[in-house]
């Protein structure tokens, strides 16, 4: 059993939850990195992508970039408040992060609706397949983060053990920042290049 504890981080001083989130993020980095690599290689190998990408709503994506950057700020504030054991400030910043994440998804839904109304579906060509695949996978990760944040906000509001809340705020924050960093790569690669 000692070997399992060492793998889980118990004997190394790293909590197993933190080690688990880092392993998860490493696997997600490989997933998104691989998909973005294929996107870039396919884009350079095939022509006509510039014409397709001109139909994107760059201003909506730019707004979403600002929204996600702001949500990273509120998530960092939630973590800082948790470290200071300020339950109310932690909760308010978690709720602000949730609100910003919902706003991101709302704008993304409007963007998708506009593209679909114009006749651009995932089957409209390689660019559109990648566009919907990459941004849809990212949106699914945002939704997963929002669910985790909502569970955490409820636990914080109900007065759950502060040590547990503090650790969960840190782990959820690591995930949320990862989602934001992925968007920082998606935005210029998909919308600006």
Task: Give the mean pLDDT of 67-92.
Answer: 96
Of the listed ranges 36-45, 115-124, 160-169, 172-181, the one predicted with least confidence: 160-169
Of the listed ranges 39-48, 67-76, 84-93, 138-147, the one predicted with least confidence: 39-48
The angle, 0 to 180 degrees and rounded to 10, between the axes of the packed helices 58-83 and 162-186 is 160
* pTM, full prediction: 0.87
pLDDT: is 115 or 46 the higher one?
A: 115
Go through the chain and tell me how many residues it has: 193
Q: What's the alpha-carbon Rg for the chain, to the nearest Å?
A: 19
Distance CA 183, CA 179 (A): 7
Task: Give the mean pLDDT of 173-185.
Answer: 95
pLDDT: is 71 or 158 the higher one?
A: 71
CATH numbers and ranges of domains, the chain: 18-192 (1.20.120.80)
CB proximity list for 85: less than 8 A, separation 6 or greater: 162, 166
Work out the pLDDT band at 11, boundaries 50, 70, 90: low
Task: Give the mean pLDDT of 60-69.
Answer: 97
Task: Indicate the average pLDDT of the chain.
Answer: 89
The reported pLDDT for the residue numbered 43 is: 85
The DSSP symbol for 120 reads -
- Nearest CA among 88, 103, 77 for reference residue 169: 77
Residue whose token pair is 């695949």? 133
- Nearest CA among 182, 132, 140 for reference residue 30: 182
**For the segment 19-33, what is each residue's pLDDT rounded down to a tens digit?**
888 888 898 999 999
- Nearest CA among 166, 186, 184 for reference residue 72: 184
The reported pLDDT for the residue numbered 193 is: 76
Residue whose token pair is 């993304």? 108
């Amino acid at each position: 059993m000692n070997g399992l504890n060492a793998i889980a981080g118990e004997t190394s001083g790293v909590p197993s939850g933190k080690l688990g989130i880092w392993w998860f993020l490493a696997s997600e980095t490989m997933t998104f990195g691989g998909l973005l690599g294929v996107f870039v290689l396919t884009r350079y190998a095939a022509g006509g992508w510039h014409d397709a990408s001109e139909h994107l709503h760059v201003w909506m994506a730019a707004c979403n970039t600002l929204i996600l950057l702001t949500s990273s700020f509120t998530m960092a504030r939630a973590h800082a408040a948790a470290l200071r054991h300020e339950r109310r400030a932690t909760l308010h910043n978690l709720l602000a992060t949730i609100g910003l994440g919902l706003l991101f998804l709302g704008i993304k839904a409007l963007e998708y609706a506009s593209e679909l109304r114009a006749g651009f579906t995932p089957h409209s060509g390689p660019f559109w397949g990648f566009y919907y695949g990459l941004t849809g996978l990212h949106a699914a990760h945002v939704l997963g983060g929002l669910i985790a944040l909502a569970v955490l906000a409820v636990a914080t509001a109900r007065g759950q053990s502060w040590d547990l809340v503090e650790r969960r705020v840190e782990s959820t924050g690591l995930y949320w920042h990862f989602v934001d960093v992925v968007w920082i790569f998606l935005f210029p690669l998909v919308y600006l290049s």
